[in-house]
Amino acid sequence: MKKFISFCLKLLVIMTVIAGVVYVIKTYFSSDDEDEFVDDYKDLDFRLDEDLKDVNDREYVTLSNNNESNESESL
């Protein structure tokens, strides 16, 4: 049993070292492709102002704090 636990611990150490080496290689030695994922919002053409209505044309909903009427309406 002692040999089995020793084998498992050695295997765990070896796997941890391999994972660390892979992480370092991927992090520090990989090419930086940050330009590929840069979002350039200046080129996007949003026309959000066209959807807005005039202040006088807006419709508003009045809110009431009447719990009894809300319960009866939801049924």
Residue 64 counted as domain residue: yes
Count how many domains the chain has. Answer: 1
Residue 40 counted as domain residue: no
Among 12-16, 36-40, 50-54, 58-62, where is mean pLDDT lowest? 36-40
Provide the domain limits for residue 10: 2-30+45-74
**pLDDT-above-90 percentage for the chain:** 32
Considering only residues 61 and 46, tell me which one the structure prediction assigns the higher pLDDT. Answer: 61
CA-CA distance, 46 to 44, in Å (whole number)? Answer: 6
- According to DSSP, residue 42 is labeled T
Residue 50 counted as domain residue: yes
Residue 36 counted as domain residue: no
